[in-house]
Amino acid sequence: MAMLFNTSDILETTRMIMEHNLDVRTITMGISLRDCSSSDIKTAAGKVHDKISKKAENLVKIGDELEVELGVPIINKRISVTPISLIGESSNAKSYVPIAEALDKAGKNVGVNFIGGFSALVDKGFTMGDKVLMASIPEALARTDIVCSSVSVGSIKAGINMDAVAEMGKIIKATAEKTKDKDAIGCAKLVVFCNSVSDNPFMAGAFHGVTEPETVINVGVSGPGVVKHALETVKGANISEVAETIKKTAFKITRVGQLVAQEAAKRLDAEFGIIDLSLAPTLAIGDSVAHILEEIGLESCGCPGTTAALALLNDAVKKGGLMASSYVGGLSGAFIPVSEDSGMIEAAEKGSLTIEKLEAMSCVCSVGLDMIAIPGDTSAETIAAIIADEAAIGMVNNKTTAVRLIPVPGKKVGDRVEFGGLLGYAPIMAVNPFKADAFISRGGRIPAPVRSMTN
């Protein structure tokens, strides 16, 4: 194995791990299920279960071995699969819930944390398989524990499928209702995308794209605490030095992920895909993206200047990662999930962070409106309009945007909802009370922007 670190690098990396929460957030194995279709849904579900069980049988074991051998915490082991709308379409089934249950069983058998890919890509329109998949989402997420779902409703090339946007508003509401006994946790496993990517290792939006290899290893690294600590050493420095410090730190973080990814792919007899160097926060003290922004100079995340500070952070993280690996992909940058970031929660509770400000921040961050709990009586049309806004940001700016909203039945602004584990907890955030129902009811497709003409 090629040496990636000298002695001082090793000591510094050890400090990052021990003191500043550096970890490999996930090893995600992508598995193609394109050979699992069948005219019978039960046969297809059986093929899906068997293939995942075989391909991923050693994923958790090898992940645990690497964690011990390399001394790097590997927090999650996950699986992504070919969008199930493509697999179920060969059958005449009216529901793909049996495949979701097969995914859940197989994932539990091999011991992973989540399995993503109960997905449909409807940027430009629907097939019958897409329609069945989308209609199956509420029941599928209610009857499974570790299955994650995503739907792509737009892209820079296709525009925005407003019929799909309207439908996803209804599906999110139905999913909340189906899982209301668990504070609508089904919605925490459901993402709506514009410009979705096929090599994303993070949940809930991961799926294995049709251009991907038979099996591939994508690794997501994370280190908000490491970046914050680095910035603490340059207090008073100008913005250029802040950017350079973040860039150098991201380089070091990415090299750790590169080592883990290459070795995992080798041992699992899979191709090495990408390193996603997103700063993915947790509730652990010192592991917050919001606190990084505050270290840059903000009184509270969400105040004026937040979008500019986040743009600086995101750009520097990407530049550092690109120096460290030739295969940077996924979403790469900084995530801003409210419920999973202690600093974001604090900012939301004190009123400095609102949904409108989060939308502005999504113009420059890795994804979009993520893990935001909203009042349970928020209408499907309002949810759809928020999705449309985020999709428009992604389409016009040629970047991935996403929405993971959780309308919690029975909860109102000022309440708090507990999801537990990695998903954390969140305050119920206020939603603009004015309606866009007539806009959403129009349907059709928002045309792709002029900048889509790049062939």
pLDDT digits (tens, 9 = 90+) for 180-197: 999 999 999 999 999 999
In 233-285, which residue ranges form alpha helices assigned H by DSSP?
239-267
Number of C-alpha atoms within 13 angstroms, CB side, residue 244? Answer: 7
Higher pLDDT, 209 or 283: 209
Least confident of 4-13, 14-23, 65-74: 4-13
- For residue 311, how far is the Cα from the chain centroid? 19
When pLDDT is cut at 50, 70 and 90, the band that residue 73 belongs to is confident
- Predicted TM-score (pTM) of this structure: 0.91
Q: CA 345 to CA 417: how far, in whole Å?
A: 11
- Give the containing element (helix H, strand E) for 182: none
Taking only the tens place, the pLDDT of each residue in 387-414 is: 999 999 999 999 999 999 999 999 999 8
Q: Is residue 13 pLDDT above 90, yes or no?
A: no
Give the pLDDT score at 15: 56
Average predicted confidence (pLDDT) for the chain: 89
Q: Is residue 7 pLDDT above 60, yes or no?
A: no
Distances (CA, A) of 378 to 91, 191, 373, 374, 429: 36, 17, 11, 7, 11
Higher pLDDT, 144 or 263: 144
When pLDDT is cut at 50, 70 and 90, the band that residue 16 belongs to is low
Q: Is residue 3 pLDDT above 50, yes or no?
A: no
The answer to whether 339 and 282 have CB atoms below 8 angstroms apart is no
Cβ partners under 8 Å of residue 43, min gap 6: none
When pLDDT is cut at 50, 70 and 90, the band that residue 1 belongs to is very low
Percent of the chain with pLDDT over 70: 95
Taking only the tens place, the pLDDT of each residue in 313-366 is: 999 888 888 888 888 888 887 888 888 888 989 999 999 999 999 999 999 987
Taking only the tens place, the pLDDT of each residue in 245-294 is: 888 888 888 888 888 888 899 999 999 998 888 887 776 766 788 999 99
When pLDDT is cut at 50, 70 and 90, the band that residue 2 belongs to is very low
Q: Is residue 422 pLDDT above 50, yes or no?
A: yes
The answer to whether 201 and 218 have CB atoms below 8 angstroms apart is yes
Distances (CA, A) of 430 to 177, 389, 434: 19, 17, 12
Q: Is residue 19 pLDDT above 50, yes or no?
A: no
Q: Is residue 161 pLDDT above 90, yes or no?
A: yes
When pLDDT is cut at 50, 70 and 90, the band that residue 118 belongs to is very high
- Give the containing element (helix H, strand E) for 449: none
Number of C-alpha atoms within 13 angstroms, CB side, residue 225? Answer: 19
What is the SS3 string spanning 57-85?
Answer: CCHHHHHHHHHHHHCCCEEEEEEEECCHH
Give the pLDDT score at 70: 81
Q: CA 152 to CA 427: how far, in whole Å?
A: 27
Residue 6 CB burial class (10 angstroms; 0-12, 13-18, ≥19): exposed
Bridging pattern class, strands 416-418 and 401-408: unpaired
Residue 433 CB burial class (10 angstroms; 0-12, 13-18, ≥19): exposed
